[in-house]
């Protein structure tokens, strides 16, 4: 943020809005698991995402090409994104949207920094260290970990942890996306690889039946998860990783648990306790500290 100057002045508000959208996506995804299998509705989603991205690139008059050197990065990030989706929705099927939103959102930036430390051999210092610790405290409070000592081994929560690890590795790969062409074009081909990875796992009989689903709740959540969450909010996140790096961009994910918990309460009736608001405020403070200009 500090080194990009005025050209990045929209990154912070854009990322804040994107993280709130991500929070809302948790109960939305939980609703979709009631209609069809995890893999199938992920396939529907990425089909819509690809169409949306093509229209967006055309509207912005941005080319679709990336350099040949970028193909390995596109393939790797697309495969990792497919794995992330699979782990995420398997967790949602057997776990709860609120707990998933907290686990994935807290572990993502932590694991991103761990990966950065291993690769760069440099520990976070100053505000980054304080913000990271504050984010971990926010996660502990949100999960009430002192009461739920088995939180990491329950049901779908193991899938959520695997999803967080996969996302952290993928974020590091996509942070180099701008080296190979426009970030939006890189994201388009990344989503295309993800779509192709999921096709072999698709139940085509179920795919045909889904076309005849008349419940507007299914189509509303599918469109929201595709065009708004992935094509818009996730692409903004990927773009931000190319400008700020995967570690700093991942710090914004500390904002997601509060949005996930509140929206899960409103839409699914999941209970909100004192620790939700307290942990949410700590997460917001963590992001502010980590991205604040010197």
User: What is the predicted pLDDT for the residue at 76?
Assistant: 92
Residue spans per domain, the chain: 5-291
Q: Give me the residues of the chain with pLDDT under 50, please.
A: 1-7
Q: How would you classify residue 281: left for phi > 0, otherwise alpha for psi between -120 and 50, otherwise beta? A: alpha
Which pair of tokens denotes residue 244?
């700020």
In the chain, the N- to C-terminal Cα span, in Å, equals: 10
Query: Can you list the positions of beta strands (E) in the chain?
Result: none
pLDDT of residue 6: 44
Instruction: Give the Cβ contact number of residue 268 at 10 Å.
Output: 15
Read off the pLDDT of residues 206-232 as tens digits, 9 standing for 90 and up.
777 877 787 888 888 888 888 888 888
User: pTM for the full model?
Assistant: 0.74
Residue 50, SS3 per DSSP: helix
DSSP state of 95: S
Quick one: pLDDT at residue 171? 83
Which residues, 6+ apart, have CB-to-CB distance to 252 below 8 Å? 15, 16, 18, 19, 237, 240, 287, 291
Asked if 184 and 235 touch (Cβ cutoff 8 Å), the reply is yes
**Confidence at residue 195, expressed as pLDDT on a 0 to 100 scale:** 92
pLDDT tens figures, 110-164:
777 777 777 766 666 677 777 777 777 877 776 676 666 555 555 567 788 888 8
pLDDT of residue 192: 93
Q: Which residue in 210, 206, 164 sits closest to 48, CA to CA?
A: 210
Helix (H) or strand (E) holding 102: helix 97-120
State the pLDDT at residue 79. 94
């Amino acid at each position: 943020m500090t080194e990009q100057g005025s050209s990045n002045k929209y990154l912070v508000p854009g990322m804040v809005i994107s993280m709130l959208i991500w929070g809302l996506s948790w109960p939305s995804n939980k609703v979709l698991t009631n209609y069809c299998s995890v893999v199938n509705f992920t396939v529907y989603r990425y089909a819509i995402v690809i169409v949306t991205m093509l229209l967006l690139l055309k509207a912005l008059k941005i080319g679709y090409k990336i350099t040949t050197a970028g193909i390995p990065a596109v393939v790797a990030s697309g495969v990792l994104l497919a794995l992330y989706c699979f782990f995420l929705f398997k967790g949602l099927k057997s776990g709860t949207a609120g707990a998933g939103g907290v686990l994935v959102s807290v572990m993502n930036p932590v694991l991103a920094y761990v990966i950065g430390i291993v690769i760069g051999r440099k520990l976070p210092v100053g505000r980054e260290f304080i913000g990271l610790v504050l984010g971990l405290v926010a996660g502990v409070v949100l999960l009430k970990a002192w009461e739920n000592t088995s939180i990491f081994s329950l049901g779908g929560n193991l899938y959520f942890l695997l999803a967080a690890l996969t996302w952290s590795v993928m974020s590091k790969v996509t942070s180099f996306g701008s080296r190979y062409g426009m970030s939006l074009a890189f994201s388009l081909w990344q989503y295309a690889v993800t779509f192709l990875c999921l096709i072999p796992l698709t139940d085509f009989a179920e795919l045909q039946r889904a076309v005849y689903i008349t419940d507007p709740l299914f189509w509303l959540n599918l469109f929201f998860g595709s065009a708004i969450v992935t094509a818009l909010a996730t692409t903004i996140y990927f773009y931000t990783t190319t400008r700020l790096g995967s570690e700093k961009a991942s710090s914004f994910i500390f904002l997601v648990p509060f949005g996930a918990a509140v929206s899960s309460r409103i839409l699914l009736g999941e209970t909100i306790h004192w620790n939700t608001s307290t942990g949410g405020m700590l997460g917001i403070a963590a992001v502010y500290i980590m991205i604040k200009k010197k």
